[in-house]
Amino acid sequence: MGQINPTGERLKKLSEDQRDQPVVMINLLRFRDRAAYAADSGDSPCSGEEAYRRYAEVAGRMLQRIGGRVLWLASVDQVVIGEEAERWDEAILVQYPSRKTFLEMLRIPEYRDATRHRDAALEDSRLFACTKQVGELGD
């Protein structure tokens, strides 16, 4: 079974980091073939990718509300280093003003409601919080 949401322990650790600086979240996404909505959800059947787009529409508005932005979004074409089973469909880099604002977004009711689409969409995911810019390669 894949990992789709952070554990309470990891969110707590993120909240304890008081750095007041931008954070870039690296997202790796693997979609289900068919979205896994609850039978009584009222959501129309669709692919995992389409369910993620439903989530992304709301998440994008919430991201703008808190001053964040998508820096980069791309399809993953090939595993070059790593296990073939460790395949990903998309990679996304999202910048937030701080870890605090990232956590604030998670508490917005409209955002929380939209996460049902994300949960239905994803077979597996990874999320990495990154802050320190180390410069260009070769520096």
> How far from the centroid of its chain's Cα atoms is residue 8's Cα?
16
Q: Rounded to two decimals, what is the model's pTM?
A: 0.89
Alpha-carbon distance 97 to 104, whole Å? Answer: 11
Does CATH number 3.30.70.100 belong to domain 8-130? yes
**pLDDT score, position 14:** 86
Alpha helices for the chain (secondary structure H)? 8-16, 48-65, 99-106, 109-121
Q: Is 95 strand, coil or helix?
A: strand
Q: What is the pLDDT of residues 88-125, one digit of tens each?
A: 999 999 999 999 999 999 999 999 999 999 999 999 99
pLDDT at 86: 84
Cβ(124)–Cβ(2) under 8 Å? yes
Least confident of 1-10, 60-69, 83-92: 1-10
> Where are the domains positioned within the chain?
8-130
What is the percent of the chain with per-residue pLDDT over 90, rounded to a whole number?
A: 74
Nearest CA among 2, 118, 126, 134 for reference residue 60:
118
Pull the structure tokens for residue 52.
Answer: 């993620």
- Is the pLDDT at 132 greater than 80, yes or no? no
pLDDT at 1: 58
> For the segment 46-75, what is each residue's pLDDT rounded down to a tens digit?
999 999 999 999 999 999 999 999 999 999
Report the run of H or E that residue 84 belongs to, with start and end: none
Torsion of CA 27, 30, 33, 34, to 10 degrees: -40
Q: Which residue has the tokens 């049902």?
A: 116
pLDDT for the residue numbered 68: 97
pLDDT at 139 over 60: no
Average pLDDT, rounded, for the chain = 92
> What are the structure tokens assigned to 60, written together?
């994008």
